Amino acid sequence: MAIVVIRQDNKLDAWKNALIANAPETPVYSYLEEHPKEEITMACVWKQPAETLNLYPNLQCIASFGAGVDFIFKDQSVPGNIPITRVVDPVLASDMSEFVLASILGFFKNLNDYKTDQLNKIWAPQEYKRISDVTVGIMGMGALGEKLAEDLIRNRFKVIGWANSPKVIPGVDVYAGNNQKNKFLSRSNILVCLLPLTKETMGILNNKLFKELPKQSYVINVARGGHLVDEDLLEYVNNGHLAGAGLDVFHQEPLPVEHPFWNHPKIHITPHVASVSDIDSVIPQLLENYRRLKEGLPLMNEVSREKGY
Ligand code: GLV
């Protein structure tokens, strides 16, 4: 039994070394080095190249390094019958919540405008919004959505949620399913997308949805670029229905230099940094699942292939 680490960014060695440091008796390989393919039982992955996960005849688990697994389902070469797990981690959830809080408050207090004004030596006070002025609507009430709701409520926000199926969350009106979506949207002055990316949610942030939001709403997408129809957002920001948007994720990352979001005064972009898996916090759950595999026990945080999350 052994682990292979597959990711194409510059964090490959850091994750591999951390796995080794925390489980010195476990063979851990980088996918880039020579390694015995038939020994690999667990693949820890983040945006793997195609045709890598099918190289391991004895693979028993594909573990995402992040909360999302959409990149695994997108890869046609991934074998169809192997359990897939994702990260569910309190640090990931609190990082996300802090980021969204910062994004909402930055919008309220016009901080992005003042930075631009500063660079142009312009002194231009604006009116600002208060927490008591708005209701925040969270789309996706999983681990991240729930933590965000809890923190927003602690900060005196009115919070509503939208989920696939009915849920009880203290202090939050949770609307469920497509029947209740428009009711939810009509109350959301700030809309935060924290949905998993699936066939059902692809392109969900589109002009039909924006139309249902109250005038001057602000849209925050910290889930996946695939949720958003870029042209529809531009249309609704440019026609004044939306006050703007904060986007951390994009169809193509890095965002291509010619993309209109770069220069748009009301669209604020960040380079997919809202919440990044913390190595120290996440390693124990990866190794716990490796132990469970060895002992034939059920895995933690396994995703449903049917639902796609
Ligand atoms: C980040 O985008 C994640 O899925 O953890």
Token duo for residue 159? 């919070």
| CB of 277 closer than 6 angstroms to any ligand 1 atom | yes
Domain 2-89+277-295 classification at class level = alpha beta
Cα-to-chain-centroid distance, residue 297 = 28
CA 66 to ligand 1: nearest atom: 5
pTM of the model: 0.96
- Separation between Cα atoms, residue 10 and residue 259, nearest integer Å: 25
- At 93 the pLDDT is 98
119 CA distance to ligand 1 middle (Å):
33
The neighbour count for residue 19, using CB atoms within 10 Å, is 22
Given the residues 272, 291, 292, 305, select the one marked as catalytic.
Answer: 272
Ligand 1, atom 1, residue with closest C-alpha: 66
For residue 18, is it left (φ>0), alpha (ψ between -120 and 50) or beta?
A: alpha
| CB of 66 closer than 6 angstroms to any ligand 1 atom | yes
Write down the domain spans for the chain: 2-89+277-295, 90-269
Same fold, 2-89+277-295 and 90-269: yes
- Separation between Cα atoms, residue 182 and residue 159, nearest integer Å: 16
Find tokens 């292979």 and name the residue: 4
272 a catalytic residue = yes
Mutate to test the pocket of ligand 1, among 96, 275, 279 (most ligand atoms within 8 A of CB): 275
Mutate to test the pocket of ligand 1, among 45, 85, 97, 277 (most ligand atoms within 8 A of CB): 277
Q: Do residues 173 and 141 lie in contact, with contact meaning Cβ atoms separated by under 8 Å?
A: no
Query: Which DSSP string do the residues of 198-241 spell out, in sequence order?
Result: -TTTTT-BSHHHHHHSPTTEEEEE-S-GGGB-HHHHHHHHHTTS
- At 152 the pLDDT is 98
3-class DSSP state of 4:
strand
Each residue's pLDDT expressed in tens, for the chain with a length of 309 residues: 999 999 999 999 999 999 999 999 999 999 999 999 999 999 999 999 999 999 999 999 999 999 999 999 999 999 999 999 999 999 999 999 999 999 999 999 999 999 999 999 999 999 999 999 999 999 999 999 999 999 999 999 999 999 999 999 999 999 999 999 999 999 999 999 999 999 999 999 999 999 999 999 999 999 999 999 999 999 999 999 999 999 999 999 999 999 999 999 999 999 999 999 999 999 999 999 999 999 999 999 999 999 999
- At 276 the pLDDT is 97
CATH topology of domain 90-269: Rossmann fold (3.40.50)
